[in-house]
Amino acid sequence: ALTNFHVAKPCGSAMKCGMADGKVYDAVIVGIDPTGDVALIKLLGRDDFPAAELGDSDRVRVGDNCFAMGNPFMLATDFQPTVTYGIVSGVNRYQPPAGTLLEYTDCIQTDASINPGNSGGPLFDAEGRLIGINGRGSFEKRGRVNVGVAYAISINQIKNFLGHLHSGRIVDHATLGAVVAFDDQGRVIISDVLEESDAYRRGLRYGDELISFAGRPISTPNAFKNVLGTLPKGWRVPLSFRRDGKRYDVFVRLQGVHGKEELIEKSMGGPRAIPDLPPQPKDGEKKPAGKPKQPSPDTASAAAAERIVADAAGAARAGRNASPTLAEEPAPGDASPNEQPPKSENPPPKSEPPKIIPIDPARMMPQAPMPEAVKKVFEEKHGFANYYFNKLHRGRVWQGWSKAFPAVELQGPWKLGGKVEGGNEFVFTLTDTDAVLKLPTIESQWIAGEKLTASLNPPHSGGLLLALHLWRRLNIVGPEKYGDVYYLGTSPLPNRQGLFDVLVATYREVETHFYFDPQSGLLAAMEMYADEHDDPCEIYFDEYDTVGARKVPRLLTVVYGNDKFAAFRISEATFEKAAP
């Protein structure tokens, strides 16, 4: 089930969910997207929960009818949701983040009544298809009353992240590594670009005109920001730009908005600035006599902070989101980003800055013991929302591939022979200790030394022989013995249809991404990063054929940077067992 990150966070890893059948079910967190304010949870106790049909939010138009569902003001004590009706007031809206979290990009604006308690609920079109997840609204300054402006995260954005959310990870959003702006002619141009970005390596430069990005035309800087916010870190997407009247079409790898540890820290929350509490009389002491004093700004703030802590704790126990909240960033929905509180004619005197007091999470959000049903599907690991689901999908992907290419016993030499496109014959020989490419006039070798990336032969390939060595290693030992292997989620490949399951495998500090076709289970491509700041060696596996008990690719296409290195057409393939 889908909900908002700011709704799920106070509940922790386990929560209770009331359904329209009047029953309360255990649920467990699966994956979280703090930047996009989305969380994926799994309901337990049934295997036949009803599910909504996912719509296409790109087809939504202003004026379309829509319905919002939720539990505003905790009215639905019987778990029958409140349904409100409205129209789509706007599409492709942008609502800025609080810091770098809870950013609403390319979202749907509606006048359907959405109030506190609606967060995480669905927005349906007139046909009952899910087109968004409600999460943000504009309210009157002095009351939490909807003024007819609310926002839902588009379902198409969520579709981009679903594979990553299923991975059990804390997922990040993308950045291009470049900034855009209008020029004096009204064109959208690159106003800055990082030299270490993939966009720069693909040829993007200052002053280039941005034409399209990720398949959508770009006519304003806001349009670019909207598209970028719907994409996960690491995706490769098409980008078109114009320079001196000439158009260039490239694919760019997107960087992450956050560093890994930065994202973990922000998603979990950090220390808050809470003023010291006023001194309390010790046992046996009398309270000062006389008229009670009005609380000073400091003590009033302290009392408010204590109430917030209590509210958040109570909300966590009740399985709902608190408002206000002590999350790292404020939950959306309370006020328009541009609203300011009314100024007082007599501002309070300035006081000393509050001290930073780390909050004990147990004090802020006391958690009930995790139910046994949840324990079975939850595993804690640093950097993951729920590592159980990562292992589940890693196993699923590997099981599909190992059925097509069983190789556990094939620990002897592997040989692949045939012709390079262009006519020359070739032979690859792969063993535990080296990899060799023989051509009619030259032989290239890679040897497994102390540093795997000491040589990246053949030249200009990005390390083809090392990549094939790692391909062989993963096939023989599997993900559990290879090194560190985790399921990334789903990602696209250039000029290929659909999304592919991705395993990220690290062996002796060399990271490799393996892409598997979710339908056939076959390995479609791999990217080996000899240097995280350089282009990877890309190998595409095509034209699979059955050789004995295995599916073997008949075509290997190697790409490095902007150039195709070579295409190897395989006519002979032998995989030997280890010598006795």
Task: Give the catalytic positions in this structure.
Answer: 6, 37, 119
Contact 236, 160 (CB under 8 A): no
3-state helix, strand, coil in the chain (%, to 5): 20, 35, 45
Distance CA 1, CA 226 (A): 25
Contact 126, 66 (CB under 8 A): yes
Tokens of 158: 């969520």
For residue 305, the surrounding DSSP H or E stretch is: helix 297-318
Residues forming beta bridges with residue 419, ordered by sequence position:
425, 569
Contact 135, 120 (CB under 8 A): yes
Distance CA 188, CA 242 (A): 10
Q: Which DSSP symbol is given to 346?
A: S
Contact 256, 233 (CB under 8 A): yes
Distance CA 112, CA 125 (A): 12
Number of Cβ within 10 Å of residue 236's Cβ equals: 18
Give per-residue burial for 550-572: e unless 16+ CB within 10 Å, then b. Answer: bbbbbbbbbbbeeeebbbbebee
CA angle centred on 428, ends 426 and 429, rounded to 5°: 140
Which residues contact residue 18 at a Cβ distance below 8 angstroms, ignoring those fewer than 6 apart? 24, 25, 76, 79
234, 188, 229: which is closest to 211 by C-alpha? Answer: 188
Distance CA 90, CA 68 (A): 15
Strand 38-43 versus strand 2-3 pairing type: antiparallel
DSSP 206-223: TTPEEEEETTEE--SHHH
Instruction: Please state the length of the chain.
Output: 580
Distance CA 394, CA 489 (A): 9
390, 373, 369: which is closest to 44 by C-alpha? Answer: 373
Q: Which DSSP symbol is given to 336?
A: -
Tokens of 367: 């958690």
5, 13, 8, 71: which is closest to 38 by C-alpha? Answer: 5
105, 9, 3: which is closest to 57 by C-alpha? Answer: 105
For residue 165, the surrounding DSSP H or E stretch is: helix 155-166
